A and B are shown apart, each in its own frame.
Chain A
C-alpha cells in the first residue's frame, strides 16, 4: 500500500462506520455496557478478595510468619522456637519496613468458678502488637492490657458469658506439659472485647508474653532463650512481600525456624479466592461472547449490505487485501469507540462503588466470614492497572477476532457477481 491509501483508508472506514448511525450506536452501547459491567464486577470481586486478605493478615499472623518447622501441619503447644530471642533478633535485623510481633500461641483449658472451656491463648506484647489496632475499638468493657501486666487477660464477650467472668474476675488457665504434668496459671480479666465474630469472641484470650511463656517453660523452654511460637511480620507495603520474604529467609538462619507467607499460612483463603475468581471469569466469558456476537452481527450486516459497493471498489482496482484492511479498520474503530464509552461508564460505576460501596451487612456474620477470613460489610471496588489493562485488551482482541470473518467475506467478493446483483 502507498501512503495515500494509508491516509485514505482509516477515514473511509470511519465514515463507513457511521453510515448506519443507529446500528453503530446500539452496538457501541452494548459493548460499552458489557465492558463496564465486567470492570465493576471484577472491581467488586477484587475489592472483596483484597479486603478479606487484608483482614486475614491484620487479624492473623501478618504478611510473613517465622515459626517452627512442622508447626503449620501439626500445631501443638510443645512446638515452639526454643531460641525465640535469637530468631527475633534475626527478624529485626532483616531491616524490613513494617512491624514485628513476637507471639506465643497455645491451646488451653480456661476455667472459672462455673465452667471450663477449651480456648486459644495469644501471648503478645501489649503495647506494641498490631492486634491492639485490630481489637482496640472492640473493647466493650474494661481496658486494654498494659505492658508489664503479667496476669492480665483480654477475653471475648461470649467467652466472658460462658465462663461467667467479668472484668476483675479470675480465670485459671491449664495445659498439659512435658512428662504428663499439668500446668496452670492464674489470670485476671482486664477487658472484654466484642468483634462480632464468634471465632474470636468465644474462643480467644490475649495475655502478656510473660504469662503465656510459663506454659512453654513446662515444655522444656528456658527463660533466657525467650521462647516464642511465632514471629508475625506486618509489612508497610504489601507489594514488597516477595522481596521481603527473600530478605527474611536470608536473615533467619536458625535451623528450627521456617519463613512462611500468608498464602502458605492460609491456603484455604487462597483456594476460596481462586474458586471465586473462576466464577468471575465465567461471567467475563459470557460478556465477551455477547460482545463478539454483537460485533459480528453489526460488521457482517454492514458488509453484506455493501456487496455491490465492494464489487465497485474491486473493479476500480482495490485489491482483496485492501478491502480486508478496510473492514478490519472499521472493526478496530468500532472497538475503540466502544471501549472509550465503556471506560467512561466503568469509571463512573467504579467511582460510585469505591465511594459508596455495596452494603452487605444484611447478609449477617456467617456470610461475611469465609475460609477463616472476614469480608468488610461494605464491599468496595478495587481496580488494579494490570487487571483493567488485561480486560481492555481482551475486549479489543475479541472485537478484532469477531471482525475477521466479515473482513474475509468482503475480501472474497467477486466483482462480476457483486456488480450485477
Chain B
C-alpha cells in the first residue's frame, strides 16, 4: 500500500462570485521512501496539494490517506496531532522560531510530542551534527545564514521522526552553493532514513535529484515522469 494516496482531490475557492479551482480531481500515490518533485507554473496547485497532504487545509472533494488514515473530516485537533507525529514541513523562508536557538528549534516538535528530555536532547544534537551544525547549536536564527537556517529546518523536520516531509520551495531563497548543499543533505537523509520527501519547486537542481517529477497545470496532473526523463511543459 502506498504511503500517501489521494483520490479525486479537489480544492475550490470562491473569489467574489467566481469559483476558482486550485486543484481538480487529482489522484496520486506516493510510496515510502520517495523523493518526488511537484513542478508547474505559479498557480498550478503545487502548494495547495502539499497543504492538503500535510493536513494544513481541507479539500472540497476527494480523499487523502496517509498510512491508511483518512485526513478528510478530521477535527482541527486531530489534524494538529497528525501534523505533529506524521509530517515534517520545510518552507521557503522563516522556518524557525526566532527566539529559540538552533538546538531548541530542532527539539521543538519532539517536546510537543511528549518525548523525555534525555531523548529529545540527544536526537536534536545528533541531527544537528548530521546537518553539520553541531557547533552552532546555541545560536539563534538571526545569527545563522539562510542556508544554515534551512539545514536546521531539515534537522527539525527529521528529528521528530515523521513518515513524510513536505518541502515547499526550500531552495528558493538560497544561493547556488547553499541550495546544492541543502539538496544533497535532503537526498542523503531520504536514503539513510527512508523518509518520503515531496517537494514543490521551480528549481532545476531539485528536479534533477527527484526520482519522480509530477507536473501540475491549472490544478490538474499534466505529466508524471521519472527523474531521468526530460521535462515537458506545454
Are A and B bound to each other? Answer: yes
- Chain A: residues with CB nearer than 8 A to chain B? 2-5, 7-8, 12, 15-16, 19, 308-309, 312-320, 322, 415-416, 419-420
Interface status of B111 (Cβ within 8 A of chain A): yes
In Å, the complex CA distance between A417 and B89 comes to 16
A4 touches B112 (CB 8 A): yes
Q: Contacting A318 at CB < 8 Å: which of B57, B89, B112?
A: B112
Query: Which of A3, A7, A316, A319 meets B89, CB within 8 Å?
Result: A316
- Contacts A312-B91, A312-B94; is A12 near B112 (CB within 8 Å)? no
Interface assignment of B129: CB less than 8 Å from any CB of chain A: no
Stretch at the interface among B79-87, B179-187, B191-199, B206-214: B79-87
The proximity string for B residues 86-119 relative to A, scoring 1 for CB distances below 8 Å and 0 otherwise, is 0001010011011110000000110111111100
The distance in angstroms between the C-alpha atoms of A8 and B95, with both chains bound, is: 19
Additional 4 contacts, C-beta under 8 A, given A309-B97, A419-B56: A308-B94, A312-B91, A315-B91, A419-B91
CA distance in complex: A309, B105 (Å): 13
> What chain B residues lie within 8 Å of A15 (beta carbons)?
99-100
Chain A residues with CB under 8 Å of B108's CB are 8, 316
Once A4-B117, A317-B81, A420-B47 are accepted as A-B contacts, the answer to whether A16 and B94 lie under 8 Å apart by CB is no
CA distance A314 to B109 in the complex (A): 11
B219 within 8 A of A: no
Please determine whether A5 and B111 come into contact, CB atoms closer than 8 angstroms. yes
Asked if B56 and A416 make an inter-chain contact with CB atoms under 8 angstroms apart, the answer reads: yes
Tell me the number of A-to-B contacts counted with CB atoms below 8 Å: 69
Chain B residues contacting A420 (CB-CB under 8 Å) are: 47
Closest to B52 in A: A416
Residue contact B99 to A320, C-beta cutoff 8 Å? no
Q: Please name all residues of chain A whose beta carbon is closer than 8 Å to the beta carbon of B85 when the two chains form the complex.
A: 317
Chain B interfacial residues counted at CB < 8 A: 30
Query: A4-B112, A8-B111 are contacts. A317–B97 as well, Cβ < 8 Å?
Result: no
B112 touching A16, Cβ below 8 Å: no
Residue of A nearest to B76 (CB): A320
Known pairs A4-B117, A19-B99, A312-B94; A317 contacts B111 (CB<8 A) = no
| Contact call A316/B99, Cβ cutoff below 8 A | no
- The contact of A316 among B57, B77, B112, B117, by CB within 8 Å, is B112
- Write out the residue numbers on chain A whose beta carbons fall within 8 Å of the beta carbon of B112: 2, 4-5, 316-318, 322
CA gap between A317 and B99 in the complex, in Å: 18
B80 CB contact (under 8 Å) in A309, A317, A419: A317
Interchain nearest-CB distance for B59 vs A (Å): 12
Q: Which of A4, A8, A12 has the most C-beta atoms of chain B within 10 angstroms of its own C-beta?
A: A4
Given contacts A4-B117, A312-B91, A315-B83, contact A415 B56 (CB under 8 A): yes
- Rounded to whole Å, the gap between the CB of B168 and the closest CB of chain A is 8
Of all chain B residues, the one with the shortest Cβ separation from A418 is B56
Give the residues in chain A near B76, CB-CB below 8 Å: 319-320
CA distance A12 to B120 in the complex (A): 17
B94 and A313: CB pair below 8 A?
Answer: no
